[in-house]
Amino acid sequence: MFQEKLVSDFLTFFTTVDPIGTLAIFVGLTAALSEKDREKVAWKAILYSTGILVAFMALGQIALGSIGIELASFELAGGIIFFLFGLQMVFGSGAADASAEPEEGHGIAVFPLAVPSIASPGSILAAVVLTDNREHKFWEQVAIAGLLLLVLGITLVVLLQASRVFALLGKSGTNLMVRVMGLILASVAVEMILEAIQEILPTLTTG
């Protein structure tokens, strides 16, 4: 039944967007920012990722087919990026470092929060596959898109609560959490890289 599919699709989006995991990354990357700036970053990250995911819903099947890019390659690139950010956070040289000046045009709301954190390879794949034009009518695709927007709304609420997390931790606790989250982020990145390699290797051997 379509109702059961909606429940399944909601859980898929929730898992791939991962609001809690995104919060952990958000806390680490925005530790040096004011509460007002953190809220701006949260809103921008959600708006950018929403635009990306909705665009993939509408055009993903056509775009990926025409360009010939495998999602495993996208996942591998995202894993490498995550790993580098994790190392920077662990050694205190990442975006969370209070002495670091943000590079103009390279806001953390876009990278790495919107991509590849919220609009991750998994959530992009879900957006494309769950709204398959060959299997679903237009109104069904609209309903599934609504589920994605609901999950993104939940993610926004979670990110806007980050200030409470900072208030509870204090400066010393925040610095500790930044490094812990950096270690976790690097571990997640390794998993992403290994999964991507496992998908890519068979194509290389058969080719």
Query: Which pLDDT band, with edges at 50, 70 and 90, does 149 fall under?
Result: very high
Contact partners, residue 35, CB within 8 Å, separation at least 6: 163, 166
The reported pLDDT for the residue numbered 175 is: 75
| 2-27: burial string, b at 16+ Cβ within 10 Å, e else | eeeeeeebbebbbebbbbebbbbbbb
The reported pLDDT for the residue numbered 98 is: 37
Q: Report, as an integer, the average pLDDT of 105-126.
A: 83
* Closest C-alpha to 107, from 29, 31, 51, 175: 29
Q: Which helix (H) or strand (E) holds 156?
A: helix 138-160
Judge whether residue 69 has pLDDT over 90: no
DSSP at 120: -
C-alpha 48/C-alpha 187 separation (Å) is 26
Model confidence pTM above 0.85: no
Lowest mean pLDDT segment, chosen from 92-96, 113-117, 194-198: 92-96
pLDDT per position as a tens digit, 23-39:
878 888 888 888 899 99
Pairwise pLDDT comparison (93 vs 17), residue with the higher score? 17
